[in-house]
Structure 1
Amino acid sequence: MQGPLSVWLVKHGLVHRSLGFNYQGIETLQIKPEDWHSIAVILYVCGYNYLRSQCAYDVAPGGMLASVYHLTRIEYGVDQPEEVCIKVFVPRAHPRIPSVFWVWKSADFQERESYDMLGISYENHPRLKRILMPESWIGWPLRKDYIAPNFYELQDAH
């Protein structure tokens, strides 16, 4: 079942795939990585002015990685703002997605965390570097095929 945003995107010739609605009734769309930046700008211009959250996850061991964006249209005098969930799937071998930092500044730390934990490279991000793990850390800890080292360096615990 297509939601209102999906119908609007089809009407304007914008390529996407409707994934239906989540358990809260929020429309979920899949966007190709190469189309994501232009569609993000269009969504911002159409009123989705707030990036509520961005996260990423490993779909399956050896499979695709997903970057998820929860967007909200905040308008004055509206009690129930309109929301949409965007999923961008990328191959594990070379996971590259255009950064939306220049559209929503709140993507800064969220995209950096997704890079640090899953290795998704957000192209044109101004400060894409590790944020939680040390710069010398090898691997991406939240990938399902990640092998944890058999040692952990103890930091000052006091």
Structure 2
Amino acid sequence: LQCQCAYDAGPGEDLVSMYHLVKVSDDVDQPEEVRVKVFIPRDDPRVPSVYWIWKSADFQERESYDMYGIVYEGHPNLKRILMPEDWVGWPLRKDYISPEFYELQDAY
């Protein structure tokens, strides 16, 4: 697994979880590559985690969860990684309405 990421296809459209896989063989100049896209309904965005196959998906799936709200079922530690734990909503969804302000609590 070279990369796992997600994107929003548009307001009212599906969310997409994308996996870029690379097979490196003796011929390093021409690695075999494939990109797999999983289209997920935005009203219940759930997809099985690939963490148990590729451990490198750990933080990448957590980021996709944090920004888009895609739940990776079976992930051992699926929690926010970039936004505060109490943040409401999924900031990179195209239908996200950003709050006017965010108050830091327990900052001192």
TM-score range, shorter chain: over 0.9
The percentage of counterpart residues that share the same residue type is: 71
Q: Is 1:104 equivalent to 2:66 in the alignment?
A: no
C-alpha separation in 2, matches of 1:69 and 1:77:
22
2:15 corresponding residue in structure 1: 65
What amino acid does structure 1 have at the position aligned with 2:103?
E
**Deviation string, structure 1 residues 9-51 (Cα, Å, up to 9, x no partner):** xxxxxxxxxxxxxxxxxxxxxxxxxxxxxxxxxxxxxxxxxx1
Mapped partners of 2:75, 2:104: distance in 1: 32
Q: Runs of 4+ in structure 1 displaced over 6 angstroms?
A: none
Pair 1:141 & 2:79 matched: no
> Paired residue for 2:70, among 117, 120, 126?
120
TM-score for the superposition, normalised by structure 1? 0.64
> Aligned residue for 2:37?
87
Which stretch has the larger CA shift, 145-154 or 95-104? Answer: 145-154
User: In proportion to residue count, which structure has more helix?
Assistant: 1
- How far does residue 78 in structure 1 lie from its aligned partner after superposition? 3.1
Deviation at 1:128, TM superposition (A): 0.3
Question: Bigger relative contact order, structure 1 or 2, given CA contacts below 8 A and separation 6+?
Answer: 2
Query: Offset at 1:74?
Result: 1.3
**What is the CA RMSD across the aligned residues, in angstroms?**
1.3
TM-aligned CA deviation for residue 75 of structure 1: 1.7
Give the unaligned 5+ runs of structure 1: 1-50
Partner secondary structure for residue 64 of structure 2: helix
**TM-score, structure 2 as length reference:** 0.92
Structure with greater Cα Rg? 1
Structure 2 unmatched runs, 5+: none
How many aligned residue pairs are there?
105
